[in-house]
Amino acid sequence: MKQLKLILIFVVLVSSLLPFQVYAETGQQIDVPDIKSGAAVLVDTHTGSILYEKNSKTKMYPASLTKMATAIYAIETGNLEDLVTVSANAYNTGGTRVYLEEGEKVTLKNLIQGLLINSGNDAGTAIAEHLNGSVDDFADSINAYLKEKVGVEQTHFTNPHGLFDEEHYTTAYDLALITKYAMKNPVFREIFGTKELKWDGESWDTTLHSHHLMLRGEIPFESVTGGKTGFVNESRHTLSTSAEQGELSLIAIVLQADRKEIAYEDTVELFDYGFENFEVAEVTKEQPFIDEKNASYRLDKPLAYTKKKNEEIELVLNDQGVLQILGEDGRLLSMKQLKMDIPNEAMSTRAEITPAEQNETNPIPAILMVVFLSIGIVYLQKTIKNMKKST
């Protein structure tokens, strides 16, 4: 009897956990990439799931990966057909250039192409001054834009190109967020994936070639769809790359690689790891979730996320109705605010029903009382009758 009670208690406890934790099949051992760069992150472009990270939220210098942010900011806030007049300040900007001449007029779209494909610092300065009047005002505006639109947390830019400044920093994760956000825009996606472009400048007629060796095909990886390189002495080599295979669309960010070769080797290893070991799954719209107060929540649409193949998944609902999808090692794969089915007010009202009201709304306790009373009366009558016979 004691064993039966223990089994029943165990069943009740397990059942009470079901609304909060749902597990898939047992996960398998996967060889984690041996990343030599100082920081790296691999994310799914569509679901936002983090597949790998190393120092991904450590502040670092991005170098020319800054230009991805400048490009999407210019695309979304400017007019691509605007003619931009190149200033003396833009002409004198150092580092990699597209050799703009002072007074030259170039469309904003052409400047963005020169910025991303050939990493033109002079194009970056011309864009900043056209959009906001000065580089300083541009910095204030793009920082606000990145926080509001992209949701970056540890990014602060002082210029549009990434030339070194101690106060110009970001993280691998924030750069992944910027790339993910920008890839939703078809204009950005086209330029980000351009391998070469005819450039007809006032003083420089040439063909621009992407600096990204994987995009150009010099380092073979057929799935690559876009990329941006970066380098200054203080940041070392930095790399942002996008790739697609089937349902998986991935972004790899690599920062602080001591050599260019290391940045590419790490990127290839990240993509191999991602495409070989991960798959897209979803939580259905119909699946209910119950919190500790018995409030019922549901998704308004299916929630896609990326997980390891055969990975054990944990679904956690907090008391604010936020659903977190956690991987087997505690990685946050995705999170979503759910919609409540039963408002708390209605639940509170139900909790305050008096015993008398409960009897009115639920007739079962009253019926049981009548049955027990009837049995008691019959038993009492039999007892009295037996007492009379004995006397």
Active-site residue list: 64, 67, 119
DSSP 291-349: -TT--EEE-SS-EEEEEETT---EEEE-TTSEEEEE-TTS-EEEEEEPEESS-HHHHHH
Cα separation, 291 vs 204, in Å, equals 64
58 strand-pairing partners: none
Cα separation, 303 vs 284, in Å, equals 7
Query: If we measure between CA atoms, which residue out of 78, 145, 143 comes closest to residue 112?
Result: 78
37 vs 60, 254, 263, CA distance in Å? 12, 7, 7
Contacts of residue 161, defined as CB under 8 A and 6 or more positions apart, other chains included, come to 64, 66, 67, 70, 93, 95, 115, 121, 124, 125
Residue where the block lists tokens 């639109």: 149
What's the CA angle centered on 186, arms 184 and 191, to 5 degrees?
110
